[in-house]
């Protein structure tokens, strides 16, 4: 054996099947996804999730409906932010820019749809009237009841307001101001309601039209009014003899009260008028 010759070491051949596995597991930089591509896929994926959520929004139970609506509004906005970020990142593929722009446009459309959809229920929900407006409506209804009573009783106004409950079937809720602690008269029968109506705290309005009738009552006569305390002294609603109701500011209200206290109904016009 010649010692000068180096030993030849044969390399072990890799089985074909194992070679395929190794080549698959080794990432190819040319084919790896860029960050921009991944973000575009995330943005579009959020929008795909958003669509069925929008379709199911009407079936969510009330306790969770508010949170669900906020989630529907937030998803396209998050997708929009992700798409904008991806648009400004380095891109390996030419289609990354097109996908980012597509994601931005879709996100904007979905955001507008979500915001409009969230706003519509609040726009369609009827707002409860203010206590001042509700009181004016109550007195107008009382005025209508007085006129109906007068038509049935030869033009005479009712001597007391409880006659509107017993004679005209008027709801006792009409006689309470929402700004006060007064409560509606209760009872299983009309007679019981009338009896309960006589208790304190069942009527928020002061009736002064018991001696009027359709012949003597004018638009200047006072038929009923509410105390100034009902609306914290800012003014009061007044029912006039022709059935219309007006809101008087505190100055006009105090003048009217002084005139009534002096026994003048209708009140004399204020000096400034």
Q: Per-residue pLDDT for 156 more than 70?
A: yes
On whether both 136 and 197 belong to a single domain, the answer is yes
At 18 the pLDDT is 43
**Residue pLDDT, tens place only, 177-234:** 999 999 999 999 999 999 999 999 999 999 999 999 999 999 999 999 999 999 888 9
Residue 53: give the domain boundaries. 33-123
On whether both 73 and 106 belong to a single domain, the answer is yes
Q: Parallel, antiparallel, or unpaired for β 235-240 and 222-225?
A: antiparallel
**Does 90 reside within a domain?**
yes
Q: How far apart are CA 93 and CA 114, in angstroms?
A: 32
Distances (CA, A) of 56 to 44, 49, 62, 257: 19, 11, 13, 59
Q: Higher model confidence: residue 214 or residue 101?
A: 214
On whether both 202 and 84 belong to a single domain, the answer is no
- Residues 38/26, Cβ–Cβ less than 8 Å: no
- Residues 161/176, Cβ–Cβ less than 8 Å: no
Q: Higher model confidence: residue 115 or residue 64?
A: 115
At 13 the pLDDT is 57
Q: How confident is the model at residue 262 (pLDDT cuts 50, 70, 90)?
A: very high
At 60 the pLDDT is 59
Mean pLDDT of the chain: 82
Q: What average pLDDT score do residues 103-107 get?
A: 84
Q: What average pLDDT score do residues 114-118 get?
A: 74
Q: Per-residue pLDDT for 32 more than 70?
A: no
Q: How far apart are CA 115 and CA 73, in angstroms?
A: 6
- Residues 217/223, Cβ–Cβ less than 8 Å: yes
At 28 the pLDDT is 44
Q: Higher model confidence: residue 167 or residue 40?
A: 167
**Does 24 reside within a domain?**
no
- Quote the pTM value: 0.56
Q: Per-residue pLDDT for 242 more than 60?
A: yes
On whether both 164 and 238 belong to a single domain, the answer is yes
**Does 75 reside within a domain?**
yes
On whether both 50 and 81 belong to a single domain, the answer is yes
Q: How confident is the model at residue 9 (pLDDT cuts 50, 70, 90)?
A: low
**Does 192 reside within a domain?**
yes
**Does 273 reside within a domain?**
no
What does the DSSP 8-state code read for residue 199? S
Name residues whose C-beta falls within 8 Å of residue 228's C-beta, 6 or more positions apart in sequence: 235, 236, 250, 253, 254, 257
Q: How confident is the model at residue 115 (pLDDT cuts 50, 70, 90)?
A: confident
Q: Per-residue pLDDT for 257 more than 80?
A: yes
Last residue of one domain, picked from the residues 74, 103, 123: 123
On whether both 152 and 245 belong to a single domain, the answer is yes
On whether both 43 and 91 belong to a single domain, the answer is yes
On whether both 136 and 178 belong to a single domain, the answer is yes
Last residue of one domain, picked from the residues 76, 105, 123: 123
Last residue of one domain, picked from the residues 81, 100, 123: 123
On whether both 115 and 201 belong to a single domain, the answer is no
Q: Per-residue pLDDT for 51 more than 50?
A: yes
**Does 14 reside within a domain?**
no
Q: How confident is the model at residue 39 (pLDDT cuts 50, 70, 90)?
A: confident
On whether both 257 and 166 belong to a single domain, the answer is yes
Taking each continuous run of H as one helix and of E as one strand, the counts in the chain are 8, 4
**Does 19 reside within a domain?**
no
Q: How far apart are CA 266 and CA 182, in angstroms?
A: 28
On whether both 257 and 167 belong to a single domain, the answer is yes
**Does 269 reside within a domain?**
no
At 11 the pLDDT is 52
On whether both 154 and 248 belong to a single domain, the answer is yes
Q: Higher model confidence: residue 239 or residue 37?
A: 239
**Total tally of structural domains belonging to the chain:** 2
């Amino acid at each position: 054996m010649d010692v000068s010759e180096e030993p030849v070491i044969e390399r072990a051949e890799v089985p074909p099947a194992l070679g395929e596995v190794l080549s698959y597991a080794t990432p190819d930089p040319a084919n790896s996804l860029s960050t921009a591509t991944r973000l575009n896929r995330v943005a579009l994926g959020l929008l795909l999730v958003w669509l069925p959520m929008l379709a199911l929004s009407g079936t969510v139970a009330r306790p969770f409906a508010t949170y669900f609506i906020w989630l529907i509004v937030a998803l396209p906005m998050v997708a929009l932010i992700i798409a904008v970020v991806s648009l400004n990142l380095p891109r390996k593929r030419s289609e990354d820019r097109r996908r980012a722009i597509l994601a931005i446009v879709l996100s904007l459309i979905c955001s507008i749809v979500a915001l409009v959809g969230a706003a519509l229920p609040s726009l369609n929900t009827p707002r409860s009237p203010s206590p001042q407006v509700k009181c004016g409506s109550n007195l107008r209804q009382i005025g209508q009841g007085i006129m109906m009573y007068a038509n049935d009783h030869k033009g005479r106004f009712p001597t007391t307001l409880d006659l509107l409950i017993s004679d005209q079937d008027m709801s006792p809720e009409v006689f309470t101001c929402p700004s006060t602690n007064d409560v509606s008269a209760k009872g299983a029968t009309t007679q019981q309601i009338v009896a309960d109506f006589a208790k304190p705290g069942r009527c928020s309005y002061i009736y002064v039209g018991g001696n009027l009738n359709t012949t003597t009552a004018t638009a200047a006569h006072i038929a009923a009014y509410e105390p100034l305390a009902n609306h914290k002294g800012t003014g009061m609603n007044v029912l006039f003899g022709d059935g219309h109701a007006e809101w008087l500011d505190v100055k006009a209200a105090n003048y009217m009260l002084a005139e009534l206290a002096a026994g003048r109904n209708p009140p004399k016009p204020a000096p400034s008028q």
